[in-house]
Structure 1
Amino acid sequence: MTDPASATGYRDHPPRMGFFTDTSVCIGCKACEVACKEWNAIPEDGIELTGMSYDNTVGLGADTWRHVAFIEQRKPLARQDPGLYHDTDVLAMAEQGTRGESDFRWLMSSDVCKHCTEAACLDVCPTGSLFRTEFGTVVVQEDICNGCGYCIPACPYGVIDQRKDDGRAWKCTLCYDRIGQGMEPACAKACPTDSIQFGPLDELRERARYRVGQLRAAGVSDARLYGEDPGDGVGGDGAFFLLLDEPEVYGLPPDPVVTTRDLPAMWRRVGAAALALVGTAVAAFAAGRRV
């Protein structure tokens, strides 16, 4: 299902829209987190710092739809060609290290709902609260959500969450209200380094592949794309990433799969078992009548 909007029944729909997050230029400013909260009127969270990390919001949840991760590594970066990047490139900044430590670097990444091509959350929602938009994105209608929570374990990325006060599910909408008016999502609009890029998904994929080529040519051999491949276990993500290390380092599953992929086979087996039980019961009843 490379075109989820068409598969859902939309005709003459706009191109599929999405996010490309280039973590190599993320500076960890959290402007995206703040802009997301302000535009979507999301309750505050993460006010209390633990003293162990600058990552005060910890992870995605019902009250954090964009989450900026701070990952400290004792790992040097390859030498960069400064002519390839602009002044705000964190690769050059991280290479300097802190406190004179040349083998230290920060990895920063702004995570978000992936708006999967094959979205398990849609498959399990009993009320139609979760729906596919004409842009190919996945949105929760909170006024229809009954708080059953089925979508939460169904998500292979652990993105969806329930609010404790009302039990309903919440997550990124990719600013459906904004993109419907031809505007950028709030997080992409606020990002000062263009780490978060918004646009037609096909164009973003092409741009991302070019960027990976740039980085590898500059000696960053670990540069890779995550969620860009339409052949992966979820059919490709509507929000994908350029990473500088293994996905697990960023808290991302290395091989995500749509969790409902086996449901049709399971229902067929249940149906076959039910028919067998009915047949057995009928046969037993008939045998009893003959006795």
Structure 2
Amino acid sequence: MAERMGFFTDTSVCIGCKACEVACKEWNGVPDDGFVFRATSYDNTGGLGADTWRHVAFIEQSRLVRRGAEETAPDGRATPLEVPGGTDGQDGQGGIEGWLMSSDVCKHCTHAACLDVCPTGALFRTEFGTVVVQADICNGCGYCVPACPYGVIDRRERDGRAFKCTMCYDRQLGGLEPACAKACPTDSIQFGPLDELRARAEERVERLHGEGRTEARLYGESPDDGVGGDGAFFLLLDEPEVYGLPPDPVVTTRDLPAMWRWAGGAALSLAGAVALSFLSTRRSR
């Protein structure tokens, strides 16, 4: 077994250039996903899916900064936590103050529910600790889609098969870093041995805290979280929910062993009841 490899995405230095998205598509032959402009955001790809294995999220921050459940507007009225950025911001009540950028990707969970539910073995764990879908084995059942706690896996409408990030498994076999990390101009996406990345990330958070960026935090790095730690983890500058990430992800198949035990017990009880009924019937004759 090779050393476990992973991604550390430092969102504090992401500039939203989407070079990672382009590199991912080019290297892996991922089809065009439409690039539909959404009036609610400058982001033109929307989210991860079967045709978007890397997605740079643009999180627009309103001019009123979140400091609690409510803010007080200049006229003294209580206003909601977030103010839509519908004006140019000159009145101090609306407009975009800035952006949080984050390049999202499959998390390559330590305890991957998608592996548990795949009936064909199309999903497998590589020698690098990553999780890969073999498209030629996938039968399009879709069980992996709801099993993913992050909503990463998706199926293509054309043939129903599931696709997601492979962490460029073919490049790793050749001793190369994934295309997205190679293309990132700011080293926001860092690739390497997972243990080394975790140590590097801890140092980065401490440095940011020392600079007064106390909102900086790590997400998905802990082996003690609900999925046993992610192979792709992040440094965030706000709560996970702001980035569209679940605050406490868990393995969706965590209750399967108990369910199988209960099912087995029920089956044995039923079989016992049938046997007793059969013996009682024979004796009565």
Q: What interval of TM-score do these two structures reach, taking the shorter chain for normalisation?
A: 0.7 to 0.9
Q: Which residue of 2 aligns with 1:4?
A: none
Match for 1:220: what amino acid?
A: R
1:267 maps to 2:267: no
Q: Relative to 1, partners in 2 of residues 1:103 and 1:33: Cα closer, same or farther, differing over 3 Å?
A: closer
Match for 1:217: what amino acid?
A: G
1:236 maps to 2:224: no
1:256 maps to 2:245: no
Match for 2:254: what amino acid?
A: R
Between the aligned residues of both structures, percent identity stands at: 75
1:30 maps to 2:18: yes
1:203 maps to 2:205: no
CA–CA distance in structure 1, aligned partners of residues 150 and 38 of structure 2: 25
Given candidates 166, 178, 189, the residue that maps to 2:182 is: 189
CA–CA distance in structure 2, aligned partners of residues 217 and 251 of structure 1: 27
1:21 maps to 2:9: yes
Q: Relative to 1, partners in 2 of residues 1:195 and 1:99: Cα closer, same or farther, differing over 3 Å?
A: farther
Normalising to structure 2: TM-score of the pair? 0.87
Q: Which residue of 2 aligns with 1:279?
A: 272
Report if the CA contact (8 A) 2:60-2:96 is conserved.
no
CA–CA distance in structure 2, aligned partners of residues 178 and 76 of structure 1: 42
What pairs with 1:124-273 in structure 2 (closer than 5 Å)?
A: 124-273=117-266
Q: Which residue of 2 aligns with 1:46?
A: 34
Match for 2:2: what amino acid?
A: P
* Matched position secondary structure for 2:45: coil
Moved more, 13-22 or 169-178: 13-22
What pairs with 1:88-103 in structure 2 (closer than 5 Å)?
A: none
Please report how far the alpha carbon of residue 76 of structure 1 lies from its aligned counterpart in structure 2 after TM superposition.
5.4
CA–CA distance in structure 1, aligned partners of residues 38 and 203 of structure 2: 39
Match for 1:18: what amino acid?
A: G
TM-align CA RMSD? 1.7
CA–CA distance in structure 2, aligned partners of residues 151 and 187 of structure 1: 24
Q: Which residue of 2 aligns with 1:60?
A: 48
Given candidates 117, 120, 123, the residue that maps to 2:116 is: 123
Report if the CA contact (8 A) 1:223-1:242 is conserved.
yes
Match for 1:60: what amino acid?
A: L
CA–CA distance in structure 2, aligned partners of residues 236 and 61 of structure 1: 22
Q: Which residue of 1 aligns with 2:58?
A: 70
Please report how far the alpha carbon of residue 51 of structure 1 lies from its aligned counterpart in structure 2 after TM superposition.
2.8
Q: Which residue of 2 aligns with 1:10?
A: none
For the pair shown, the structure with the greater C-alpha radius of gyration is 2
CA–CA distance in structure 1, aligned partners of residues 133 and 35 of structure 2: 26
Match for 2:140: what amino acid?
A: G
CA–CA distance in structure 1, aligned partners of residues 224 and 35 of structure 2: 40
Gaps of 5+ in 1: 1-12, 78-97
* Matched position secondary structure for 2:235: strand
Please report how far the alpha carbon of residue 227 of structure 1 lies from its aligned counterpart in structure 2 after TM superposition.
0.3
Report if the CA contact (8 A) 1:122-1:131 is conserved.
yes
Q: Which residue of 2 aligns with 1:3?
A: none
Report if the CA contact (8 A) 1:76-1:105 is conserved.
no
Normalising to structure 1: TM-score of the pair? 0.86
- Structure 1 segments, 4+ long, off by >6 Å, are 98-103
Please report how far the alpha carbon of residue 99 of structure 1 lies from its aligned counterpart in structure 2 after TM superposition.
7.0
Please report how far the alpha carbon of residue 290 of structure 1 lies from its aligned counterpart in structure 2 after TM superposition.
2.4
Please report how far the alpha carbon of residue 155 of structure 1 lies from its aligned counterpart in structure 2 after TM superposition.
0.7
Gaps of 5+ in 2: 67-87
